Amino acid sequence: MDIPQERKVVTEIPGPRSREWFARRAAAVPQGVANIHPIVTARASGAIIEDVDGNRLIDFATGIAVLNVGHTSPAVVSAARRQLELDTHTCFHVTANEPYIALAERLNALAPGAFPKRTMFANSGAEAVENAIKIARYATKRTGVVTFDHAFHGRTLLAMSLTAKVMPYKQGFGPFAPEVYRLPFAYPYRCPTGGTEQTCAESCLAYAIDEMHKHIGEENIACVILEPIQGEGGFIVPAPEFVKGIADYCAEHGIVFIADEIQSGMGRAGRWFAIEDEGVVPDIVTSAKSLGGGLPISAVTGRAELMDAVHPGGLGGTYGGNPVAAAAALAVLDQIESEGLLERSRTLGAHLLERLREMQRRHEVIGDVRGRGMMTAIELVADRGTKEPLDPATGTRIVQEALRNGVVVLKAGTYDNVIRLLPPLTIDEGLLDEGLEVLELAIATATG
């Protein structure tokens, strides 16, 4: 479906048909499954969502980082359609399928590290995280799992236990999985160990290593899991050398280092995997979100000796590596390669950061601008001196104002004061700039 790549607002937003659907939704779907935007999609293509009222919205959310190659990318749709007509499901454990094996080979080749690797598939990011931890525990015969402040790893029991933020992800859902230990993350704008932007990595690293040694014990730690750039936690780019220091410590003590690249991977941060820019080779890497280009699939890729440690039958699931989703994922990887989207993520991302820095000069409320590649965000503050987070209601007004003018954006952050930008890597530069202008106007309106 080819929709003109243009913003077009034809009704108030939400329009009457979206409102009708939302009345039905309220009576049929629990409120716990929240909606950020009260609109209903009719169709989508490239960087545009068309709602049921005919409004065309510039999409800076991409289904939470899922459409790096754009909505309904023709190559992805046709690969999925071809596979749909061949075989939709036999379950990999019953009879294998070609896309599963071919996709495993591709990810083994793409993931960092010049050693033999293996890949297994599941359906969601949370499941990939759960499996990565199961494998690390099995292979090390240790139980401890180290995670970080501001982390998001999903909503299943173990993944939720690893996730940092209580509201809305954990409130009321305990008891949580045991043997999960949380350390501060080197967040340079708000260094949790009292460092400056320059000393944040060093002080957080010293704190983390002391904590792992004194309070957990290296010989009890199966794995450390971290997001090379934190996603839901607020697009936090760790202070340089922090991740490297943690990875080196893991290597020294036989701790499995897991990079959760579910949001940062597949070109979002300018590389196949954001960890590449840290000079770190993870033992295991998790992928999901943009891997399937909209179809649900997640992957765990890791060192062969770790991945093969588990006995036959110890891993898997009914739908993992579904052939339609795997065929779509192969087309996503092809498109990233053939269209040079890693390079494009870096160049367009540099342009985007520049634009955001200009905006920061005009708007006091923008305390920090950060990101890498097309994984960028602005952090909003009530006061640049104290860095007190902007109240969530004002941030929400910005998001709503942008939507009213035809641009879909998302917030993030432990303090709910970050606006993250996740346009497709394929977005036209003019459309990107237009979306940024709408966002800037929304900031001016909501904070003026």
Ligand X SMILES: *Cc1c(COP(=O)(O)O)cnc(C)c1O
Residues at the contact surface with ligand X, assessed by CB under 6 A: 124-126, 129, 152-154, 227, 231-232, 260, 262-263, 288-289
Output 60 or 152, the one with its CB closest to ligand X. Answer: 152
Output 142 or 289, the one with its CB closest to ligand X. Answer: 289
- Lookup result for tokens 């929240």: 34
- What's the closest the beta carbon of residue 122 comes to ligand X, in angstroms? 9
- Exposure string (b/e) for 392-420, b if CB count within 10 Å is 16 or more? eeebebbbbbbbebbbbbbbbbbbbbbbb
Output 21 or 181, the one with its CB closest to ligand X. Answer: 181
Output 1 or 166, the one with its CB closest to ligand X. Answer: 166
- What's the closest the beta carbon of residue 60 comes to ligand X, in angstroms? 16
- What's the closest the beta carbon of residue 303 comes to ligand X, in angstroms? 20
Half-sphere exposure of 352 (CA within 13 A, CB side): 32
The SS3 of residue 222 is strand
Task: Please report the DSSP string for 322-380 in residue order.
Answer: -HHHHHHHHHHHHHHHHTTHHHHHHHHHHHHHHHHHHHHHH-TTEEEEEEETTEEEEEE
- What's the closest the beta carbon of residue 360 comes to ligand X, in angstroms? 25
- What's the closest the beta carbon of residue 230 comes to ligand X, in angstroms? 8
Pull the structure tokens for residue 121. 């598939």
Task: Please report the DSSP string for 66-96 in residue order.
Answer: T-TT-BT-HHHHHHHHHHHHH-S---TTTS-
Give the distance between the most distant pair of CA atoms in the chain.
Answer: 62
Output 100 or 235, the one with its CB closest to ligand X. Answer: 235
Output 153 or 355, the one with its CB closest to ligand X. Answer: 153
Q: Is the peptide bond before 14 cis (omega within 30 degrees of 0)?
A: yes
Output 154 or 395, the one with its CB closest to ligand X. Answer: 154
- What's the closest the beta carbon of residue 358 comes to ligand X, in angstroms? 28
- What's the closest the beta carbon of residue 333 comes to ligand X, in angstroms? 18
Output 51 or 260, the one with its CB closest to ligand X. Answer: 260
Residue 370's identity, in one-letter code, is R
Task: For residue 432, give the DSSP letter.
Answer: H
- What's the closest the beta carbon of residue 355 comes to ligand X, in angstroms? 24
Distance CA 276, CA 113 (A): 10
- Nearest by Cα to 112 from 13, 289, 257: 257
Output 412 or 436, the one with its CB closest to ligand X. Answer: 412
Q: Name the residue whose CB lies closest to ligand X.
A: 125
Distance CA 426, CA 317 (A): 33
- Say if CB 222 and CB 173 are below 8 A apart: no
In the sheet that holds 410-412, the strands lie side by side as 366-372, 375-380, 418-421, 410-412
Distance CA 265, CA 288 (A): 8
Output 46 or 154, the one with its CB closest to ligand X. Answer: 154
- Say if CB 287 and CB 261 are below 8 A apart: yes
- What's the closest the beta carbon of residue 236 comes to ligand X, in angstroms? 12
- What's the closest the beta carbon of residue 76 comes to ligand X, in angstroms? 18
Gyration radius of the chain over CA positions: 21
Residue 185's identity, in one-letter code, is F
Output 52 or 146, the one with its CB closest to ligand X. Answer: 146
- What's the closest the beta carbon of residue 231 comes to ligand X, in angstroms? 4
Residue 404's identity, in one-letter code, is R
